[in-house]
Structure 1
Amino acid sequence: MNRVLYIVILLCFSATCTYAADGAWGKKKKKKAATEKTVSNDSLSKSASESEYDKFMKEATVKEGMFNVIKKKDKIYLEIPKKLMSRDFLISSRVSSTSRTWQIDPGTINRTPLLITFSCDENKVYMHFPHLHYVCKPSSEMYEAHKRHSNPPIWKSFKIEVMSKDSSSCVIDATSLFLSSIAEFSPFPDLPAEVRMLVPFGGTFQSDRSRIEDFKAFEDNIIVKSMMTYTTDKEGPLTTIEARNIVILPETPMVPRYADERVGFFEEIRFLFDEHHDRLQTYGIINRWNLQPKDMDKYLAGELVEPVKPIVWYVDPAIPEKWRKYVKLGIADWNIAFEAIGFKNAIVVKDYPTDDPNFDPDDIHYNCYRFVASARENSMGPSWIDPRSGEILCGDVISWYGVVTLLNKWRMIQTGAVDPSVRCPVMTDENMGEAMRYVAAHEIGHTLGLMHNFGASAAFPVEKLRDPEFTQKYGTTPSIMDYARFNYVAQPGDMEKGVKLTPPLIGVYDKFAIKYGYQVLPNVKDPEDEKATLRSWVKEQIGNKMCFYGKQVFQFNFDPRSMAEDLGDDVVKANTYGLKNLKYVTANFTDWMAVNDEGYAAVESTYKEIINQFFRFMNHAMVSVGGMYINPKYYGDPEPLYEYVPKAKQIAALKFVLKSLNEFQDWIINDKITAIIGPTAKHYVAQTQFFNELLTREVLGRLQINEVDGKNVFTLDEYLGIIFDEMFSKKTGSLQLANMAFQNSFVESLSKFIEKGEFSHGGSRSLREAHNETTCSCHAYCESHRSFDAVNPLSEIVLSPQIDKSNKRPVVMKYLRKTYQMAKNRMNVGNDKTREHYRLLVLKLNYLFD
């Protein structure tokens, strides 16, 4: 949900795919309980025929399953059948519990589960990493060449301690696999070096304070839980319980389904060697559950049919009941979309069972909606997949307690001007429950394979968001996978007329996406068999704004349709309504919240969120400036790949931003606020920082792309001209602090384009590297790989010194000269502070013009 610097990444762990006769993965009738036995000295033959295996097993505790798990003293051994050596497995590590939650939260798997295979010789067992990204069909003449180039490397090796009596299995000491620091299993978030330089992340494993806690074996997986202690720079000692799992995958993978960039699914990338093409082929296969109807004939006849294996969700009893019932509703809401494609009860929701001795939230057979007692204001919904086919094996949702705080602030700030029921420090159970239901449905969407669709909300005309009939039917967006929050467009009196203030249960786009991912087609044995049908479904929706998919872009977004937390198809109109409401909330929220000591404590965080909301409105508008509409395009699609935002819209958006910035200090602070939180400059700092962003190389570069490629475009000269007029020409007499700050930023930001060394890149990251970062808190995979991305032309201009100099400098010099002349003319105008301000600007620019 909420934007964070990074996201906590994939984790697919624990229990696994049932090694059953029909090859079905992870059958859930009832897991066959592990057989445990302790072998004593007396139980073994003391004759000369006693085998080495029997000797080894003395005083061992054994749990029998896919692999026999053997514990002797403080060591863990695995007995691996040779017949499984050629099978594929997943191995992962999940944090079950922790002594602190600053870096690590219970339930998380902070490293991507690994696909492995086993092999052995006379002395050792080896673990390999199979190759998946590069593929070649066995029928290809290139196949032998491909095999020579794709041998699975050895990740780890283990000495064979003993063989079984019939030599059908190998016993290895696997203690190091479950009780040591392994980078691929680290419980700490995998953050880049730049972040770790600022904040001390990670820890050092302490073996003397760690031990094996528990172990389980089932017919298709094993789980070993270890107490792991680390020392950290910030927190001191940190102890976790980590559940490391090995899971057997289906012998025959599910038939993959091809991805389509016009529908937002997480996907696995493949590169195909094929002699029938003159270049390497690239395609994606989507992440989805293997839902199959119990009765195919009835299903194909259009009847509602239950799936062979429904998606069962277990809800954490630690979620308070007043919210838990709404969480369950949010999970079950997706049945609306599955019923539209013929599945009945595709999703089943249950409490954590109390009568199942094998139930374990750390087991991959159980999809769990978990609650973490942490102030972090977020939720996430990862899913763990069979990377060979894209089949989702397990879903998890982790909801931090702080998300309640966040929802409270959003609901009040965005709709408090319209809805009197949210003007309070503690939300009513009904209002909070409705918000929790929205969060649950959004996160479950991720666990079904769906990415964010930030383009959805742009389908709705702004005035429709004030229409009772329309909003009751559609909510605020065609997709629950958008970040369309609450209806800040609605005005006082609209709610009483019946205008809905919240997102939909499941939107029009969501139903279409579920159809694309899950509708079963007959006689499909290869993804090529259904490719034409899938493409035809997507093509039918071209031009239907309700089914438009706008991907999430993390840096330098160009498309004003694809933005987080926006509403409607006209950003200026929508945010003008939003600002009107925000001003009312700012003037009154202290009276709504500060009714007791607890309310006083919440006022400051709410005030920060009001400032954040204002700058969301500003950012929404700025994406239109130099923006373009980008359409993922396939051959024959009628829509163009890209179109520039019309010039009039770009100018209107910029003027809206500058006007709003100039008026910001007039309403954002008042005596009621400072009486509670004390003196503050938060609004002033945020205001000046945002203005600086208007003059970055990236923003100016967007305008240059328009000039290089377009006609009748909004030019860089016109852009700087409007800013100059608003921030200099119209500012006469004595200046306010904010006005001086804006003018000073204008000079300093533009001067950087003239200074020596301005294009030196040193050790800084490129725009492309920055773009590849993810701030999505819902899933580790957050970028679409093949779609047209306007960062590319931006990089071409901004990262090319010669182009950057030749295009920016003439215009920059023009406005620095205008500033210099105006400052010289005004050095004796206004009060003392204003006069000195202009003299300082002249001094800063003297080196250029005198």
Structure 2
Amino acid sequence: MKKWMIVLLAMIIVMPLSSDLYAASKKKKKKGTATATLPAPKKVSPYEKLLKGKNVETSKSDFITLHKVGSKLYFEIPLKYMEREILLASTVTNVTSPEFCDIGYKANNPLHLKFTKRDSSIFLRYVSTGVTTDNLQKAMNNVYGDPILYAYDVKAYNPDSTAVVIDMTTLFTTNVKDLSFFADAMMGGMVKISSSFKKEASYLDEIKAFDDNLSVKTVMSYGVSLSVMGMMKLMDDYPFTATVTRSILLLPEDKMIPRISDSRVGIFNSTKTRLSITKEDEIGNYSVAHRWRLEPKDVEAYKRGELVEPVKQIVFYVDDAFPELWKEPIRQAVTTWNAAFEKIGFKNVMVAKDFPKDDPDFDPDNLKYSCIRYVANSTANAMGPSWTDPTTGEIINASVLVYGNIIQLINNWRFVQTAQLDPSVRGKKLPDDVVKASLIYVVAHEVGHCLGFMHNMASSAAFPVDSLRSASFTQKYGTTPCIMDYARFNYVAQPGDKGVKLTPPNLGVYDEFLIKWNYQYIPGTRDEWEEQPIVEQWVDEHAGDPIYRYGRQQIQSRYDPSAIEEDLGDDPMKASEYGVKNLKYILSNLQGWIKDDPDYSHRQALYGQIMTQYYRYLKNVMYNIGGIYLTEVKEGTPGKRYEAVPKARQKASMAWVLKQFKSMDWLNNAELKAHFPLSVDGSAIVRSRVAGDIQGLIGNVILSSHVASSPYSINEFMTDLYNGTWSNLLQGKALTEGDKILQNTMVDMVCASLNDGGTKKSASPFGFVPSVDEIVAYGLDESGLISRFADQFRAVDEEYGRGYVASNMVADQFGTPGYGWQRTVATTAIDDSKAYLQDMAVKSRNLLRSKIGGMSGNAKVHYQALLIKLNNALKDKL
């Protein structure tokens, strides 16, 4: 039978049977109980599966909603915020030890970022803002894109598909370098911090989300080691735990108009490159000033000259951890700047508020809030960093950190600089009114940094020295035109000067100018380039006026004697002469003025401060020797870019320093020293520092004489040094301790010039680079690390040459040429000092040979040793 016939027959047989079975089942159901249809199982969405359950903590907002699921952290990001610019910052909230970082401080600049979406991936990108253009946008986009920092898989969409969920755990719970809160190294790598992150001892903590920001706290643990030069280990695997707050702030889409910087004005700035073919025939650099966005609520009233409030005030929150006595002067330090803002048409700009007590939204470590924080450690300092929108320079956040030992610093300043005239500062504890007034000055200075203002170290040089002894002058102007200088207190005023103001002004003339230049609202301008000629003209109007001169801080090289820290007046020699007289008076009364000091520890600390202050007076004058005045000058306006200190002033300064060098035995107060621990005389310590600094003068004398029309030449400098060193022998006078130290130093210096081999350096090769003692005396290291480990760093300088530590200090540069720290000028091509040093060696040997025959006792032993050293160095050379 055919196969198809068999299949057909089978179908005919089966079909009636199937129909009967179906009919039977229908009849059976009618006779029995009705059965309900079971619903299909509900499908669980990836969103619910990921974020529903008992172990989920959610902080919801219109911006980014945070979900903490066990040890995981998820961001729920609305798609409308893709491509929006944000700042991500890391702030230390609390620590187990204050050695490595400061609470309330952001060790790194906030990251300028944005989220972008492509298919099922979310990218976190850096936002590139360093290059701008007005007519080459396509070309710029081709080569200056936004690099991808991290990539994330989309884990889920929210129920209405308007937001994506991504896993951000790693960014907040691992040791991400960009969010580190302490550096791997400091001081140019000389101080190395090595840390081993302990992931098992770290965890997510509190999460908060708001409509324009969020914060995530993480507890992070490390083992930390600290070493100097890889040789001296200061700490090894020290256990350390910190709670760190990472905050994200949404930046406005409507950007502030930047303000183009002017290198003649001391304002922090950010450098940019401009691609353009219409303005200049080159790709050029420019910089934008750092400033808060300050716009009038009522523009028309502002134009009419009425005082108006800003659209957004500048608010600082004052830490509730401060001692009660400090809080009001700190608030006053903030609002004192309002007087300057009123002069440009704004009222109530600066606001100081206490930390809110019952506001769950407030977090002092969130990037949204600017705060004045109390850092409870032994550092005697304060600082005022700020952070900006890199696109425009708009200051988004700022902090003032006031360290626990700041009152000790104020106490030291007030005693050694004003105790000759002010009986109220002669005790162990300053009276409340002095503490308050001093805190206003210190904190107002730091608030100035938070407003974008740099140090202006030339400001105090605008005032004549003798004006600082005038009651009428000082009551009006204080000690300086600018509190952004390190002018401190009036050490020029003498006992008996009546009514003289001893403190800097709350605000000086130059401070008011800074507010005008950085914050004056200019209606009607379309962009920063239309504003530029207007603000530039404001500086032009004051060019050549010393009160409006900006002197940048000199860290790695110190050439300009008119732009240094801790000085007063336009004549360092006259000011220092007054200061030395006051120190002698203070020291002679130190024993009787200080009470309740049975172990003499307070007197000993003040004695050390007197030595340091005296060293500053000597250094202030030494900067004249080989000094060069440096001023930023625009073509067509008064002034010179650089100008050597006049020859007569350099010679007089050299004579003054050598005279002080030999006559500082007044420091050796035997009555006090008998109560101090075992130590050498104070004069020996200061002489040792100054003797080393004299060697460092050579490079500056070379450069200064090179640019001078009537130079103080290296030959004249060496001749003056020779005559000063051997004056007792040349004049037939007895040998003194001062003579011995100076002569030993000079002989070592000239002998080093005769060594062709690789001996240790006798002078820095970097120009007038400060020594460790200068760094400490002038507060050049704001971290305080060098002060704390001064002996170790002195050993480094001793090993590698004076100035080596300073030459390795990391110094930020701010924008266009003329900003940032003064850099070193190489003098190798014009350095002929070796010949003159060798000539001094020959002359010194000949002098000793001619005089030593008539000597005896200690003098003969001293000169004999020097002659042997010179003979050994000169052997077979002449």
Distance 1:468 1:129, change over 3 A: same
Distance 1:682 1:672, change over 3 A: closer
Offset from partner CA, 1:690-710 (integer Å, 9 cap, x none): 2112113xx212222233332
- Cα distance in 2 between the residues matched to 1:396 and 1:665: 45
How far the C-alpha of 1:595 sits from its partner, in A, is 2.4
Q: Which amino acid aligns with 1:647?
A: K
How far the C-alpha of 1:661 sits from its partner, in A, is 1.5
- Cα distance in 2 between the residues matched to 1:46 and 1:354: 53
Secondary structure of 2:265's partner?
Answer: coil
Secondary structure of 2:444's partner?
Answer: helix
How far the C-alpha of 1:601 sits from its partner, in A, is 2.4
Match of 2:238 in 1: 236
- When normalised by structure 1's length, the TM-score is 0.88
Match of 1:55 in 2: 49
Distance 1:420 1:685, change over 3 A: same
Q: Which moved more, 1:220-229 or 1:324-333?
A: 324-333
- Cα distance in 2 between the residues matched to 1:315 and 1:672: 42
Secondary structure of 1:796's partner?
Answer: coil
Secondary structure of 1:291's partner?
Answer: coil
Distance 1:405 1:268, change over 3 A: same
Q: Which amino acid aligns with 1:51?
A: S
Distance 1:793 1:353, change over 3 A: closer
- Cα distance in 2 between the residues matched to 1:252 and 1:162: 31
How far the C-alpha of 1:441 sits from its partner, in A, is 0.7
Match of 2:163 in 1: 169
Choose the corresponding residue for 1:260, options 236, 259, 262. 262
Q: How does 1:643-722 map to 2 (within 5 A)?
A: 643-681=643-681, 683-696=683-696, 699-722=697-720
Offset from partner CA, 1:146-198 (integer Å, 9 cap, x none): 2221122222222332233344332221111111111122221464375554x
Contact 2:814 2:820 in 1 (8 A): no
Larger radius of gyration: 2
Contact 1:215 1:223 in 2 (8 A): yes
How far the C-alpha of 1:371 sits from its partner, in A, is 0.8
Match of 2:146 in 1: 152
Match of 1:246 in 2: 248
Match of 2:423 in 1: 420
% same residue: 34
1:777 aligns with 2:782: yes
Q: Which amino acid aligns with 1:298?
A: A
Contact 1:551 1:784 in 2 (8 A): no
- Cα distance in 2 between the residues matched to 1:291 and 1:727: 60
How far the C-alpha of 1:92 sits from its partner, in A, is 1.3
Distance 1:845 1:793, change over 3 A: farther
Q: How does 1:378-777 map to 2 (within 5 A)?
A: 378-494=381-497, 497-597=498-598, 600-681=600-681, 683-696=683-696, 699-731=697-729, 732=732, 734-757=734-757, 775=780, 777=782
Match of 1:375 in 2: 378
Q: Which moved more, 1:182-191 or 1:216-225?
A: 182-191
Q: Which amino acid aligns with 1:103?
A: F
- When normalised by structure 2's length, the TM-score is 0.86
Match of 1:815 in 2: 840
Q: Which moved more, 1:216-225 or 1:168-177?
A: 168-177
How far the C-alpha of 1:242 sits from its partner, in A, is 0.2
Distance 1:711 1:83, change over 3 A: same
Offset from partner CA, 1:581-607 (integer Å, 9 cap, x none): 01111222233234234x732222222
- Cα distance in 2 between the residues matched to 1:411 and 1:182: 44
Offset from partner CA, 1:781-819 (integer Å, 9 cap, x none): 854554459999963314x5xx43xx1122112211111
How far the C-alpha of 1:730 sits from its partner, in A, is 2.8
Distance 1:766 1:274, change over 3 A: farther
Contact 2:767 2:827 in 1 (8 A): no
Q: Which amino acid aligns with 2:345?
A: G
Offset from partner CA, 1:579-633 (integer Å, 9 cap, x none): 1001111222233234234x73222222222111111111111111111222201
How far the C-alpha of 1:639 sits from its partner, in A, is 1.6
Match of 2:212 in 1: 220
Q: Which amino acid aligns with 1:256?
A: P
- Cα distance in 1 between the residues matched to 2:174 and 2:851: 70
Q: Which amino acid aligns with 2:101?
A: I
Offset from partner CA, 1:123-153 (integer Å, 9 cap, x none): 432222222222222x23xx33322211222
Contact 2:91 2:246 in 1 (8 A): yes
Distance 1:303 1:680, change over 3 A: same
Secondary structure of 1:203's partner?
Answer: strand
Q: Which amino acid aligns with 1:221?
A: N
Contact 2:812 2:821 in 1 (8 A): no
Distance 1:110 1:74, change over 3 A: same
Distance 1:760 1:387, change over 3 A: farther
Contact 1:267 1:390 in 2 (8 A): yes
Secondary structure of 1:604's partner?
Answer: helix
Match of 1:352 in 2: 355
How far the C-alpha of 1:667 sits from its partner, in A, is 3.0
Match of 2:792 in 1: none
Contact 2:555 2:821 in 1 (8 A): no
Contact 1:552 1:783 in 2 (8 A): no
1:93 aligns with 2:90: yes
Distance 1:781 1:224, change over 3 A: farther
How far the C-alpha of 1:366 sits from its partner, in A, is 1.9
**Consecutive unaligned residues in structure 1, runs of 5 or more:** 1-44
Contact 2:246 2:366 in 1 (8 A): no
- CA-based RMSD of the aligned residues comes to 2.6
Secondary structure of 1:264's partner?
Answer: coil
Q: Which moved more, 1:635-644 or 1:96-105?
A: 635-644
Q: How does 1:274-293 map to 2 (within 5 A)?
A: 274-276=276-278, 277-293=280-296
**Consecutive unaligned residues in structure 2, runs of 5 or more:** 1-38, 226-234, 785-809
Q: Which amino acid aligns with 2:559?
A: F
Higher relative contact order (CA 8 A, sep 6+): 1
How far the C-alpha of 1:740 sits from its partner, in A, is 1.7
Q: Which amino acid aligns with 2:250?
A: I
How far the C-alpha of 1:729 sits from its partner, in A, is 2.6
Match of 2:232 in 1: none
Secondary structure of 1:132's partner?
Answer: coil
Match of 1:5 in 2: none
Contact 2:76 2:163 in 1 (8 A): yes
Distance 1:279 1:443, change over 3 A: same
Match of 1:341 in 2: 344
- Cα distance in 2 between the residues matched to 1:790 and 1:328: 30
- Cα distance in 1 between the residues matched to 2:833 and 2:655: 22
Distance 1:120 1:448, change over 3 A: same
Q: Which moved more, 1:442-451 or 1:146-155?
A: 146-155
How far the C-alpha of 1:226 sits from its partner, in A, is 0.8
Distance 1:259 1:246, change over 3 A: same
Distance 1:106 1:543, change over 3 A: same
Offset from partner CA, 1:476-527 (integer Å, 9 cap, x none): 0000101001000000111xx2110000010000000100000101112210
Distance 1:576 1:770, change over 3 A: closer
Distance 1:360 1:342, change over 3 A: same
- Cα distance in 2 between the residues matched to 1:770 and 1:160: 55
- Cα distance in 2 between the residues matched to 1:777 and 1:794: 21
